[in-house]
C-alpha cells in the first residue's frame, strides 16, 4: 500500500512541476482539472505512465523519478497530442512513443544543461517533441484531427475581456484553455504560493498590455492564449530561479517585455508550418536571462530551488546571515588572543590587487609592546608560533631575510620571510614576515591545519612584528589576492562560525573538544524519542530517526518532516527544514548551531528561518511581506553557556513584541535531553 502511494505521489508531482510546485496535493487538483476534457486528460495520463514505466524498465531509481522532474515534459507532450487528436488505438500508440521519447530527451538535455550551462531544461523537451509530433501529423491521415485551440467553454460567464483572458491563458498551460479550468488553476496556485499567484497576475497583465499597446488592439491582445508564456516567465524568473525580491520582479518584468516581441515573431514564423508557439518564447527568454545572470554572478540567483518560492526566500534570508563567510575559509594562524591590525582594504598596505589580506598583532592594554618598544624583543608577537591556517602542500619557502628594527621596513623584499601553501582547492595561501631562519617546514612537504610553520618576525615590509595572511589566485609572489574568511573563532567572547573579524578586535581560534565531538556523532538509523509538551501538558510523543538523503546529507526524520544537520571542525548545526512538523521547527529554533567547545560565558548568535517560530496564516503573512522587504520579521537568536551542558538564550522576531526564552540541555552521552522555546518543550525519554 505504501509503495502504491509512492507511485501516485510521483504521478501527481508531474502535474505540480509544471507550475514549479513540488506538491502532490496541488498536482492531484491539477490532474482532476485536466479531466474536464477527457481526451486531453487521458492522453496526459498515458504519456506520463509510458515515460515512468520506461524509466523503471531501464533501471532508473525511483528516488530520481519521485519528484516528477523527469516526467512533467512527457505529461505536457501527452496533453498537447490529446488536444490535437481524438483518442484511439493509433493515437494512443503515438502518445506512448512520444512520451518515451520526451523522457529520454529530458534526461539527456538535463545532463547537458546542468553540466555545461548550469541551467534547468524547463519545458524545452516538450517544445521539441510536440513540434515534431505536430509536423508528423501532416502525414498521419488515419488520425482524426480535432479543432486546434478551440476554447470549448464548459461554463458561460460574462467576464470582462481582461479577466477572461487571464483565466483562459492560465488554463492553456495544461491545454485546458477555458475560464473554468483557469479559475481552478488560479485557486490551486494561490493556495500553494501567494508569491507565485501575484507573479502570474503581474506577468500576464504586463505582457498583454505591452502587446495591446504595440498592436493597437487591447481586446484581442488580452484574449490571446499564448499569453501563458508571460505568466510562466514572470513565475520562473521572479519567484523560482531568482530569490523573490523587488529587484527580481523588475528583471522578470523586463523579461516579459522582451518576450512580447519574441512571441509575435515565433507565432508568425511557426504558423507557416502549422505549429503552435507552445512555450518556446518562455524557454528562450527564461534560459537566456538565467544564463546571463549566472554568468555575471547576480546575487539573487537561487542556489537551491525549494518546494515553493516562500521556502526558497526563507532559506535565502536566513543563510545570508548564518553563513556569511567565503568558501575559502581559513583557521586563524595562531593560538591565544591576537588583535586585528589591518583587514581587507586596510589603511596602509592592503590596497588594490593585495586588498584581501589580514594582519595580526598581540595587543595588551592598547599597546603591542612592553617598555619603550625600541627592541624587537619588546613586542609581544615577536617569535610567537605561526600556525598553518589550512592543509596543503608547501610550494615556496623564504627564510633567510633579516628582521627589521622597529619602525624600519624592507622595501625591496615586501613579503619578507614567507611560506606559500597550495591548498589543492584552486587557491594558494601565503603567510609573511616570519623571523629569520625560524621556518620549520620545507618545500614539497604536506602540512595539516594548525601545524607549526615557524615564528612571527619583522622581515620584509613590516614596521613591527605581525602575522600577515592572504589568499591568492596563483603561486606567484605578489599575485592578485582573493576574498576569504576565518572560521571557528571567538571575538569578544562571542563564537563566530565563519566571518571576517573587525579591525582592532581581539580574536582567538577554538577547536572542538573530543567530548562534544562524540556527543554529536549521530549514526544512521539511531532513534530518539521525546515527549512533546505544551506547558506541562503532554501533546504527543515524537520519535526522531537519523537518515541519509540521496545526496549524502544527514537529517532527523520525524515522519512529518526532515531536519538536516551537518558538522564542521568547530560546530554542529541545522541548516534546512522540510515538511510541516512544528516539533522539528522547535529544535531548529532552539539550537540552530552548537559550538563544539564549552567555555563559561561564551555567547553566540544566529538567524534561524522565520518558519521555525511561526505557523499557519502568520507564517504566510511573514513570507508575503518578506517577498517585498527581506528584513521584515527577521529572527534573531542569542545564546550562551549557562553551565556545562546547559544552553540558555532568547529568540526575537521583528513581528513579536517580546523575546521568547529558550533552553537546551545536552545529553550526558549522545545528543540532547531537552529543547524548550517559550511554553513548548521536547523532553527525551530514556530507553528502559
Query: In whole angstroms, what is the distance from residue 409 CA to residue 397 CA?
Result: 20
- Per-residue pLDDT reduced to its tens digit, 176-203: 999 999 999 999 999 999 999 999 999 9
Instruction: Give 145's DSSP letter.
Output: B
Q: What is the pLDDT of residues 223-250, one digit of tens each?
A: 998 999 999 999 999 999 999 999 999 9
Question: Percent of the chain scored above 90 by pLDDT?
Answer: 71
The whole-angstrom separation of Cα 138 and Cα 147 is 14
Q: What is the DSSP string of 466-477?
A: -EEEEEESSSST
Task: For 125-168, write each residue's pLDDT tens digit.
Answer: 999 999 888 888 776 655 544 444 443 444 456 889 999 999 99
pLDDT, residue 616, reads 76
Percent of the chain residues topping a pLDDT of 70: 94
User: What is the predicted pLDDT for the residue at 276?
Assistant: 79
Quick check: helix, strand or coil at residue 488? strand
**What is the pLDDT, as a whole number, of residue 502?**
93
Helices (H), 23-71: 24-34, 38-57, 62-65
- Contacts of 464 by beta carbon, 8 Å cutoff, 6+ apart: 361, 368, 369, 373, 379, 381, 406, 407, 458
φ, ψ (nearest 5 deg) of residue 493: 65, 15
Per-residue pLDDT tens for 406-447?
999 998 999 999 999 999 999 999 999 999 999 999 999 999
Rounded CA-CA distance 401/413 in Å is 8
Is the distance from CB of 397 to CB of 469 less than 8 angstroms? no
**Rounded Cα gap, residues 292 and 296, in angstroms:** 6
Average pLDDT over residues 573-594: 94
Q: Which domains, ranges and CATH numbers included, belong to the chain?
A: 1-148 (1.10.3430.10), 174-305 (1.10.3430.10), 329-483 (2.70.70.10), 515-685 (no CATH)
Grid cell, residue 660, equals: 521568547
Amino acid at each position: 500500500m505504501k509503495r502504491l502511494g509512492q507511485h501516485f505521489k510521483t504521478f501527481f508531482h508531474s502535474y505540480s512541476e509544471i507550475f514549479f510546485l513540488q506538491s502532490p496535493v496541488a498536482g492531484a487538483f491539477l490532474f482532476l482539472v485536466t479531466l474536464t476534457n477527457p481526451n486531453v486528460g487521458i492522453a496526459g495520463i498515458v504519456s506520463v505512465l509510458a515515460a515512468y514505466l520506461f524509466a523503471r524498465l531501464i533501471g532508473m531509481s525511483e528516488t530520481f523519478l519521485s519528484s516528477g522532474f523527469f516526467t512533467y515534459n512527457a505529461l505536457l507532450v501527452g496533453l498537447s497530442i490529446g488536444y490535437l487528436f481524438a483518442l484511439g488505438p493509433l493515437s494512443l500508440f503515438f502518445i506512448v512513443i512520444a512520451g518515451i521519447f520526451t523522457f529520454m530527451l529530458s534526461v539527456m538535455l538535463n545532463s547537458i544543461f546542468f553540466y555545461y550551462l548550469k541551467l534547468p531544461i524547463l519545458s524545452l523537451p516538450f517544445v521539441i517533441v510536440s513540434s515534431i509530433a505536430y509536423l508528423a501529423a501532416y502525414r498521419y491521415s488515419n488520425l482524426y484531427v480535432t479543432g486546434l485551440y478551440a476554447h470549448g467553454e464548459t461554463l458561460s460567464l460574462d467576464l470582462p475581456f481582461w479577466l477572461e483572458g487571464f483565466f483562459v491563458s492560465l488554463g492553456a498551460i495544461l491545454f485546458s484553455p477555458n475560464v473554468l479550468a483557469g479559475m481552478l488553476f488560479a485557486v490551486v496556485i494561490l493556495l500553494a504560493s501567494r508569491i507565485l499567484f501575484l507573479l502570474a497576475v503581474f506577468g500576464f497583465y504586463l505582457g498583454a498590455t505591452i502587446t495591446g499597446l504595440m498592436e493597437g488592439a487591447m481586446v484581442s491582445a488580452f484574449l490571446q492564449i499564448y499569453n501563458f508564456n508571460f505568466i510562466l516567465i514572470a513565475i520562473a524568473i521572479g519567484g523560482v530561479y531568482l530569490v523573490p525580491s523587488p529587484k527580481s520582479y523588475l528583471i522578470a518584468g523586463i523579461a516579459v517585455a522582451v518576450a512580447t516581441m519574441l512571441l509575435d515573431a515565433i507565432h508568425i514564423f511557426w504558423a507557416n508550418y502549422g505549429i503552435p508557439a507552445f512555450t518556446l518564447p518562455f524557454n528562450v527568454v527564461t534560459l537566456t536571462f538565467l544564463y546571463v545572470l549566472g554568468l555575471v554572478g547576480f546575487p539573487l540567483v537561487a542556489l537551491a530551488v525549494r518546494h515553493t518560492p516562500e521556502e526558497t526566500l526563507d532559506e535565502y534570508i536566513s543563510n545570508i546571515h548564518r553563513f556569511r563567510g567565503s568558501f575559502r575559509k581559513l583557521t586563524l594562524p595562531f593560538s591565544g588572543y591576537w588583535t586585528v591590525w589591518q583587514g581587507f582594504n586596510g589603511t596602509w598596505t592592503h590596497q588594490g590587487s593585495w586588498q584581501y589580506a589580514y594582519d595580526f598583532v598581540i595587543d595588551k592594554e592598547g599597546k603591542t609592546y612592553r617598555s619603550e618598544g625600541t627592541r624587537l624583543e619588546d613586542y609581544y608577537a615577536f617569535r610567537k608560533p605561526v600556525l598553518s591556517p589550512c592543509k596543503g602542500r608547501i610550494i615556496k619557502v623564504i627564510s633567510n631575510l633579516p628582521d627589521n628594527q622597529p619602525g624600519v621596513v624592507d622595501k625591496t623584499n615586501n613579503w619578507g620571510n614567507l611560506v606559500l601553501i597550495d591548498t589543492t582547492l584552486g587557491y594558494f595561501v601565503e603567510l609573511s614576515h616570519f623571523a629569520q631562519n625560524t621556518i620549520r617546514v620545507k618545500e614539497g612537504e604536506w602540512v595539516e591545519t594548525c601545524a607549526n610553520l615557524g615564528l612571527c618576525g619583522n622581515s620584509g615590509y613590516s614596521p613591527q612584528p605581525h602575522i600577515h595572511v592572504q589568499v591568492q589566485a596563483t603561486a606567484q609572489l605578489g599575485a592578485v589576492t582573493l576574498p576569504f574568511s576565518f572560521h571557528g573563532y571567538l571575538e569578544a567572547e562571542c563564537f563566530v562560525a565563519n566571518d571576517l573579524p573587525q579591525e582592532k578586535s581581539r580574536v582567538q581560534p577554538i577547536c572542538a573538544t573530543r567530548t562534544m565531538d562524540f556527543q554529536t556523532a549521530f549514526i544512521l538509523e539511531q532513534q530518539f524519542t521525546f515527549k512533546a509538551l505544551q506547558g506541562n501538558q503532554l501533546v504527543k510523543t515524537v520519535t526522531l530517526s537519523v537518515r541519509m538523503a540521496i545526496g549524502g546529507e544527514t537529517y532527523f526524520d520525524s515522519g512529518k518532516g526532515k531536519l538536516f544537520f551537518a558538522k564542521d571542525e568547530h560546530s554542529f548545526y541545522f541548516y534546512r527544514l522540510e515538511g510541516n512538523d512544528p516539533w522539528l521547527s522547535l529544535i531548529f529554533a532552539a539550537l540552530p548551531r552548537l559550538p563544539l567547545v564549552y567555555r563559561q560565558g561564551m555567547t553566540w548568535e544566529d538567524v534561524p528561518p522565520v518558519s521555525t517560530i511561526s505557523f499557519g496564516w502568520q507564517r504566510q503573512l511573514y513570507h508575503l511581506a518578506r517577498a517585498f522587504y527581506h528584513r521584515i520579521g527577521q529572527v534573531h537568536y542569542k545564546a550562551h553557556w549557562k553551565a556545562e551542558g546547559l544552553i540558555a538564550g532568547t529568540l526575537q522576531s521583528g513581528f513579536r513584541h517580546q523575546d521568547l526564552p529558550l533552553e537546551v540541555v545536552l545529553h550526558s552521552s549522545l545528543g540532547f535531553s531537552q529543547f524548550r522555546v517559550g511554553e513548548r518543550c521536547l523532553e527525551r525519554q530514556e530507553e528502559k
